[in-house]
Structure 1
Amino acid sequence: MEVSLLFDNESRSLKIRGKIALGYLMILVMLGLFLVIVSSRIKDLEQETVFLSDHDMQVHELTYLIEKNVLDMETGQRGYALTGDTEYLDPYNNGLVEWRINYAKLRKLISDNPAQIENLSNIKTNIEKWVTIAGQNVIELKRAGDDEAVNAYFKDDAGKAVIDLIRNQSDYFRDNERKLTSERITELKSGNDKLLITMYVLWSLVALLATIITYVISGSIVNPLRSVIQAIHEIASGGSRSERIVVRTHDEIYDLGSATNSLLDTVQQEQWGSERLSHMSSLLQEVTNLPQLCRTFMNKIAETFEMQYGVIYVLNDLKKYERCYSYAGTRNEEVAMGVNQFAPGEGLIGECARDQRVRVLTELPQDYISINTGLARVAPRYAIIAPVVFENRTLAVLELASLNAWPAYRLELLSELLNMTGVTMNSVMTRVEIQKLYSKSQEKNKELEIQSEELQVQSEELQVQAEELQSYSQELLILNKELKNQKAVAENAAEELEKYNEQLQLSSRYKSEFLANMSHELRTPLNSMLILSQLLNENRNGTLTDEEQTYTSVIYSSGTDLLNLINDILDLSKVEAGKILVEVDAVNLTELPALLRGYFDKTAEQENLTFTIEISAEVPELFYTDEMRLHQILRNLLSNAFKFTEQGSVQLTLTRLEAVQLNAYTSAEPVLAFAVKDSGVGVSVKNQELIFEAFRQADGSTTRKYGGTGLGLSISLQLAQLLGGHVELDSIAGSGSTFTLYLPCREQEPEEEPEAAETEALLAEPVQEESIPAQPAVGGSRQTDMEFQQLQGKTVLIVDDDERNIYALQRGLAPYEMNILSAHSGYECLQIIREQPDVDIVLLDIMMPNLDGYDTLSIIRDELGLPKLPIIAISAKTMKEEREKCLNAGANDFMSKPVDIKDVVSRMYLWLAVNPSLTDF
């Protein structure tokens, strides 16, 4: 049943149906309370019964389980002590875990009984005591091989007394629980008796309350109804329509009286409105022009609705609504307002004309138009803006102001008057328009006569022009043939351009293949050179002089520089070929200072330069870009700054700019500015554009002072542009330089990832090797000892078609006293593994002729059936897909050339460590 049927909307008093429903509802509520109380008590009894059956049984069961756990531990301890067999420790270890679990469950069940919790805590204390003095002590002695101490312990057997005490405490604990169970049963019987008494008392109260409610509700309905009927008879017997029924109760009888009163009001309002419409119609029929119509209409509106001010705006020839007449307005105020006409949609007048909807304005401001009398000036409180519409066309707009608000029936009457006025106004405006058109038509006739004479003269001229056009058409035919010939030439040129484009793509592909192969060919000999120079520099035998160690350091450093040069050339080629993969992710700028200091603090210390990093407060902690490319650009700029600075400082400053506008770069969005400033040699104006070109150097002569390939700045600029930014240079020769990297300050992750370059690029792309299983957290010397112990005596098979790499790895692994085997092809590798199954680990080169590393891996895993043999793949290819390809083929790990011998040893140690999970392929 809806609430509106039970309550009066205004006073929220009960209606007749509501009173009856309330009576039944109160009875039902009492019955409901009766049922709730009884059912609640029944549920309590059920819960008490369940508690007796479940709780007590579970408590007893858990106490026995704890005793069993202790017995298992004692049995396991004695079995291990007698036999030394670790299988006897299984029941001990299981009991050691399970008794604590059972103890926690039991403690939770008796959490409401402090005495039993204390008894249980005593049992726990004795169990832990037995574990300490008996269980764990005997096991540790047995593990240490101290059988005499074990026998001495069992002669005294201090743990037996503890076990006996645990049993006695458990029996005492269970006796207490049995007493509690008996007390609960007694309370349950008493509760049943109280339930019966409660049911009888509640039923008596419900019966008494039902009788009282019935008497009260019947009286509250009948008495007001009689009063309403008497009032209706008095009105029907000849009373005037001005009389109204008064009902003091707010129910259906009140609604009946209110409906009758509303009916009388409506009849009176309709009669009043009909009279006003009839009078307005007769007045408008006498109107002959538009100003008279506006004046008559506005005056009658003011009289009808007790309006104190009004203005009417009429549509003019310029399609604007111009002030035509105002009621009770003053000239000074209207001139001060300054607006006499409105275009559709301009101001409230224009909006009303456009959407043809009545607007009611309340709470008008004090500076609104004033209503003037001879004694006072008063601001209106209520205004109406209404359109005069005929056939969906707004002919005029009224603005009316009053001191009092209008009731709804007056607004309805206004709407009808506006419709009537729209018909009359359209007739008047049409009559005026017809008169204007008639006058214009007469003027047009005179103009047409003049134009006909002019047309006759023009026709003669056109005949002459036709002859000229015929000669032009012949010339156009000739021109059309020439255009067709040019079109054919253009199509041939387009085909030639397409062929040229295909040749460029093919050339780019050959270039990519060449660079990839060059990378492999350079990295392979570079691998052995770096390993051997590193081994020489370590001077393991102590046979090298300081000068010779310096030579090896120079060799190692030169090899590293060569590796960096290879990477720079590959980076530049990837950028030019559009094959760089941009991976946008969150970059934590708070980590940037520590990262860059790790790279350059040592350089700054060696060059005796001051190196500072400053981050402004407005810079966000996180922003989104390609972190690897950002670090590459900053490292290039800082390396360049240190290279060309002999004294003074190098400074990195990070700021946030709301916008930036440079000659080569403009951004209306916020950007981050990474400014690298140095006090070095600076760059002259003529060289500031050239240094960003590939292979340009500060001094290109053979005697140049500064080294480098001239690739770093070119790569940095192109990477910055790839990230949506720019690198700007500000420098004066001899006064230092400032390279500023501008990047978009994206503080939210982009909805769409930027378009990536081709993933199938043949160019080598350096990858960061995935993390491998963590090494034991030990010191350097201890780690070396552990690696020696683990690798000593193990058999390692080195597979590589380049003898130099095999030799370098053999020399690097020599100090670890391993059994080193070598193979120069995949076939030779498979033969050695078949003949010598004791191979512990394989270092496998991937790029080999005939049978490469991928096929060799597959044969070892599938055909030879060796899924657990650790195999570390080594490849000169550094593409991102290379690692995954090797691991999918069956390798346990992947390393890219050139390798570091310490890294090789560390990886071998990990895969040979005593951890079966690492060798499960």
Structure 2
Amino acid sequence: MLNKQARSLNIRGKIALGYIVILVMLGLFLIIVSNRITDLEKETVYLSDHDIKIHELTYQIEKNVLDMETGQRGYALTGNNTYLEPFNDGLSEWDVNYSKLKPLIADNPEQVQNLDNIKADIEKWVTVAGQYVVNLKKNGRDAEVAAFFQDDSGKIIIDSIRTQSDYFRDKERALTSERIKSLKNGNHKLINTMYILWALVALLAYLITHLLSSSIVRPLQQVIQAINSIAAGGNMSERIKVRTLDEVYDLGEATNGLLDKVQQDQWSAEQLAKMSLILQETTDLSVMCQIFMNKLSKIFEIQYSAIYVLNHEEEVYKRMYAYAGSSDKDASFGADRIQPGEGLVGQSALDKSVKFIENLPEDYISINSGLGRTAPRFAVIAPVIFENKTLAVLEIASLTKWAPYHLKLLEELLKTMSVSLNSVITRSEIQSLYHDSQVMNEELQVQSEELQVQSEELQVQAEELQNHTNELLVLNRELEIQKSVAENAAVELDRYNKQLELSSRYKSEFLANMSHELRTPLNSMLILSQLLIENRSNTLSEEELGYVSVIHSSGSDLLAMINDILDFSKVEAGKMQVEMDAVNLTELPALLTGYFDKTAAKRSLEFSVQVEEDVPDLFFTDEMRMHQILRNLLSNAFKFTEHGFVQVKISCAENPFAVQDYQQERMLAFAVIDSGIGISEANRELVFEAFRQADGTTARKYGGTGLGLSISLQLARLLGGHITLQSEEGKGSTFTLYLPYLQEETDIPLIPLGALSPVAAASEQASALNEKIMFEKEHRKLHGRTVLIVDDDSRNIFALQNGLAPYDMNILTAQTGFECLQIVREQPEVDIVLLDIMMPNLDGYDTLSIIREELLLTELPIIAVSAKTMKEDREKCLAAGATDFMSKPVILQDVVTRMCRLIRPAEG
């Protein structure tokens, strides 16, 4: 390393070299200015040409007037229409020439006024003389024509036009001469001035070089030494001290300010990360409020605070927790329940705005301790807002006023709290609603059973009455009464059955609506989190990518929970349909390996798929439902296995359920074996019940809704099969799926074995190359094409816009059906439309009908996008005119693939 003296001389040399470069640049600048002077002389010539153009247009306008006058006179004398040609040509051309001339003189108000006077005279002549005489002649009023030429008032106007045109041209000639003379004088002065300036700058640069090299180096070394000291020690609390009051002092102060800002930002980021992590781990509302307020008190040194949470049933904000306050509902800590708009807390909830209060009075509230009490000086009232709805309001009192970065951190913490609070409230509401639905179903079922018992008792009584025919006359009236009672009971039973059916339908509609409401925000969240994971701009750190990955994973888990609940609802309602088709079992090992290889590697488990030799290559079943069952069983196995292996064995087996109504003697057995925690004998039957796991602790430790195995069992029964369980606690479990071995004839061609395992055969390098080639093909097809995104949720529009940005498409957006129709009418270049179905006022179905039937755009590709996933929803969209259908949340790659398939090739 160079010593300090050598480094100082090096800096001085660089500064001197910089000023020498300045001198060279000034010399070059002088040459450039000289060349510019020559260019200015050329511009003078241009000005002359400009004026010549003005003269030409002036003469041309005057010629047009003369042509109109000649044509008028010729037609008035002869009545021959050929004389009208110069009149009509002049009538159309003079206005064109006027339009060309006026912009050329727009910078000269006097000439503009002269030109406007000429225009006014021309228009006057056309009105009172030219067109007037022509019209008289056309109407055969020759006497009036002759009388007009006796006076000939038009000649006076023509003479005025000539005079004004001459005056106009004289003015332009004078202006041209003045411009040329002024430009030449300016050029000579500019050259002399530049030479003088060059000499002065050269002298000044020398003096500056000498002075700066002496005055900057020494203070700058002090600043560098201070910065190196801070950098070497890593102590963010040390600051630079500069004694000189110059730019180096400003540098030191700026560096100190930067250190303050970095230290503050680092502290804020740490507090925000800790708060987010704590809130994510909390599922109880009251506990969450307590943890949040206690954490805030430590971050901001708060002495008094309270949080009021919205009660949706009563539409009132109830105090959920008070920090450093009394737990009793006394007047010393304010109101326990606050209506929207009531007081500052209620008004803050209504306005959705933060309120700052300074210089609080002594009797506002007292901050108490064991030794004494005092009044706060500063208060903040802040709402917790999620999707433009105030979920809670915080009131904070402090002895000291916060710094600006404290308020910014509070805003970020409130956003984090709003997401967590909404998640807890939503989860609680869903559980409550589902519990109510289950209770109602159980009550209706009990009532139905009671009525059934009553009906059976009445039937027995009727049989006994029939056996006592000898007492028929005596008991006839009693029998009629019993019959009436039985009929009423039957009616009551039918009414309760209808109530049960109505309850089931309400539950299905509730689950479908909840699916729509949850899938809509999930759509934008999953797309945007996927885009952030891709880190296209390389602006996210590894830690931030980890946060985004957690968000995407959580959203995917929530989507899986929604799908499980919907499948369970379909099974319960008897609406789950199966589609039998040929399934090639040689493909199954590669598919299962592709699904779970990464999971096995992540959990350090051995994973394998074995197919026995006697297993056929082809059999008939619903392939999608079979895959769903196997994925559920494997997911369950991986979730409850921490060490060891997970294995799949596929074999042929005798039907173990021959005593039941299964007609197939041979079955295909798909055994999923794991070395996990196992299941006790007492809990084996519980695992197949909805919303149940082996015990409550597994649900908390391993997560899940408890629907997977219940749905799998129902699906297996729909396919004509069954699921068995063999397990021993602490030694693993074996779930076996039995499916009928169906061998119906089919015309479906068999696919060669080698073509069925791309997942197992492709290496990571080939996969990456294929993805790159696929992107290039898709980019080539979508580049420059126009897509219209229609969605009433701006978050989904924002997500799709960012997701399609790399394909360089022209992206149009609309938030209502009416905006969509307007864009489609006005911009025929739209190549494809992504249309949301559930929109207010004009929904997607009506929009589709108008586009197809009224606008007659039958060939325009339209992909319907809906959060409703029932089969009838897809069929309804296709019937309304949609080209394709996608359910929310959409997968971006799936959107791109379908767009490439539907967009027609560009013409030409």
**TM-score surpassing 0.5?**
no
Larger-gyration structure (1/2): 1
| Band of TM-score, shorter chain | 0.3 to 0.5
TM (normalized to structure 2)?
Answer: 0.43
TM (normalized to structure 1)?
Answer: 0.43
